[in-house]
Amino acid sequence: MKQKNINKAKPYMNPYLAGFLLGIVLLATIYITGRGLGASGAVKSVVVASVEGIAPQHAENTAYYQNYAEQNPQGPWKDFLVFEIVGVLVGAFFSGVMANRVGLKLEKGPRVTNATRIITAIIGGALFGFGSQLGRGCTSGSALSGMAVLSLGGILTMLAIFGGAYALAFFFRKLWLK
């Protein structure tokens, strides 16, 4: 008698269906709110509110924080992007639970140590966050939402992200391949 493995992970969603559904969500977001999706705006809202709460005098004396406070006087909890990110985190967790894919795991190549992987992930994340502020948006905000409205900047951002990734992958591939 063949026994079914109850701990086996379920396959991922069809990527074409997932892309189509993401497009529908993006279209609905633009229609309802007048703006696209993006994670860096949510992070910025929370960081600015945190600085205003912890060091209000610094926030009052810094043009960046003053400008942001004028644009968003109600704070981060009135910014739909903050709820978008909370929804992404909660939704990802429940999706992982339903597909039996929840767990902590450090993915790395065979020639990479755990410390190197963690340090480079932190550095890469910090550089990407800094770059998203210079580029006025993250991948989802600038590239995905920008391309949805046929923005030349969005198209160039997407080309730069994927072009840069493919160009750098050539040099780092030996760290990940056996």
State phi, psi for 73 to the nearest 5 degrees: -70, -20
| pLDDT for res 82 | 84
Highest mean predicted confidence (pLDDT) among 8-12, 140-144, 157-161:
157-161
Q: 97 and 80 in one domain? A: yes
User: Which pair of structure tokens corresponds to residue 77?
Assistant: 């909890």
Q: 125 and 96 in one domain? A: no
- Kindly give, in sequence order, each residue whose CB lies less than 8 Å from that of residue 146, ignoring residues fewer than 6 positions away: 36, 137, 153, 154, 155, 157, 158
Q: 148 and 92 in one domain? A: no
**Confidence check: pLDDT of 9 > 80:** no
Evaluated on CA atoms 136, 138, 140, 144, the torsion sign reads: positive
Residue 32's domain comprises 1-103
Q: Which residue has the higher pLDDT, 129 or 54?
A: 54
State phi, psi for 10 to the nearest 5 degrees: -80, 155
pTM of the model: 0.66
In order, the DSSP letters of 70-88 are: HH-TT-GGG-HHHHHHHHH
**Confidence check: pLDDT of 5 > 80:** no
Q: 153 and 93 in one domain? A: no
What is the overall mean pLDDT for the chain?
83
Q: 83 and 39 in one domain? A: yes
**Domain count of the fold of the chain:** 2
**Confidence check: pLDDT of 1 > 50:** no
**Confidence check: pLDDT of 176 > 80:** no
| pLDDT for res 6 | 54
Q: 133 and 53 in one domain? A: no
Band of pLDDT at residue 178, cut at 50, 70 and 90: low
Q: Which of the listed residues 68, 84, 103 is the one where a domain comes to its end?
A: 103
Q: Which of the listed residues 43, 74, 103 is the one where a domain comes to its end?
A: 103
Q: 87 and 126 in one domain? A: no
Q: 24 and 79 in one domain? A: yes
